[in-house]
């Protein structure tokens, strides 16, 4: 996923509530969005979302408000054997590489 942009969430991939997704051997390079420059993963009250990331590279992605690489909202995420490098949050929020927004309810 190279050079993609989204106005709001997930420059490369935006996953909505209740979805399970596996990313294996992917490259995310130079993607941009307000939330999750490369990937945005959202969950709602059903708590069904799950994201597995294995052997992926997140590099030179930009978050305009939060999380240049991966923005997580109440979702379960497993990350193994992956690289996050040179990602930049250029806004006022958090997470150059990863931002985990979670609540317990």
Q: Are 87 and 56 in contact (CB under 8 A)?
A: no
pLDDT for 39 beyond 60: yes
Structure confidence at residue 32 (pLDDT): 97
Structure confidence at residue 74 (pLDDT): 86
Residue 62: closest CA among 90, 100, 98? 90
Q: Are 88 and 63 in contact (CB under 8 A)?
A: yes
Question: Residue 41 CA to chain centroid, in angstroms?
Answer: 6
Q: Which two tokens stand for residue 79?
A: 């990350």
Structure confidence at residue 16 (pLDDT): 83
Mean pLDDT calculated for residue range 16-27: 92
Record the pTM. Answer: 0.91
Q: Are 66 and 40 in contact (CB under 8 A)?
A: no
Mean pLDDT calculated for residue range 44-53: 84
pLDDT for 36 beyond 90: yes
Structure confidence at residue 37 (pLDDT): 96
Mean pLDDT calculated for residue range 74-84: 94
Q: Are 2 and 27 in contact (CB under 8 A)?
A: yes
Q: Which two tokens stand for residue 14?
A: 């935006």
């Amino acid at each position: 996923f190279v050079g993609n942009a989204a106005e709001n969430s997930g420059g490369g991939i935006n996953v909505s509530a209740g979805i399970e997704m596996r990313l294996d051997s992917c490259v995310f390079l130079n993607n941009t969005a307000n939330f999750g420059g490369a990937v945005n993963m959202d969950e709602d009250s059903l708590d069904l979302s799950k994201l597995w990331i294995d052997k992926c590279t997140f590099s030179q992605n930009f978050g305009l408000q939060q999380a240049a690489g991966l923005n997580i909202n109440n979702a379960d995420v497993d990350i193994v054997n992956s690289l996050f490098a040179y990602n930049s949050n250029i806004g006022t929020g958090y997470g150059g590489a990863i931002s985990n927004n979670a609540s317990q309810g």
